């Protein structure tokens, strides 16, 4: 269901941009051997989705709101502080998580050191599933759609453009 007060064209541009750039790049990076960069890119993606969801600049609060609504298997505070902030500001991981790749069998299990294991492939799949749920809300929930269009008036959507440069 769409709503008459929501700019559906702008919402579809946002969805296309996020799908064609952020999500595509995240999935490409996941398939390379760059574990921390993949988690960092996923955190950036969550940041922007939280900002769009709130209709404003991404913050810790918008990040945690997105996690609470779309990635409910994670603790909002720990994911923000120990993964997102630790990676973005210190290129490290906090005390609550152990990051791995190619081992779905232990994803979200607790180690003997009381750390939660996050398998990168599973995490990216969960972020993608959360994104698709968010897209559904963008198209059906008036407030989410209005917030997204408000966000797009403040922040430029990444899209491919024809650029002519004079000689």
CA gap 101, 55 in Å, rounded: 34
For the chain, the first-to-last Cα distance in angstroms comes to 49
- Check residue 94 and report its DSSP letter: -
Report the predicted TM-score, pTM, of the whole model to 2 decimal places. Answer: 0.91
100 beta partners: 119
pLDDT value, residue 4: 46
3-state helix, strand, coil in the chain (%, to 5): 65, 5, 30
Q: Which two tokens stand for residue 53?
A: 């969801």
Per-residue pLDDT tens over the stretch 103-129? 999 999 999 999 999 999 999 999 999
Q: Locate 3 and state its tokens.
A: 């709503």
């Amino acid at each position: 269901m769409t709503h008459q007060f929501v700019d559906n064209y702008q919402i579809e541009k946002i969805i296309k941009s996020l799908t064609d750039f952020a999500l595509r790049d995240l999935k490409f990076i996941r398939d390379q051997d760059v574990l921390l960069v993949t988690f960092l890119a996923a955190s950036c993606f969550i940041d922007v989705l939280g900002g769009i969801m709130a209709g404003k600049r991404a913050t810790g609060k918008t990040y945690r709101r997105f996690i609470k609504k779309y990635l409910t298997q994670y603790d909002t505070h720990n994911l923000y502080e120990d993964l997102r902030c630790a990676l973005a500001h210190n290129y490290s991981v906090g005390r609550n998580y152990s990051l791995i790749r190619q081992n779905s069998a232990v994803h979200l299990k607790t180690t003997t050191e009381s750390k939660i294991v996050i398998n990168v492939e599973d995490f990216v799949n969960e972020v993608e599933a959360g994104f698709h749920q968010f897209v559904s809300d963008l198209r059906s929930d008036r407030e989410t759609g209005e917030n997204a269009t408000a966000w797009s008036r403040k922040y430029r959507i990444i899209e491919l453009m024809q650029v002519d440069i004079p000689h």
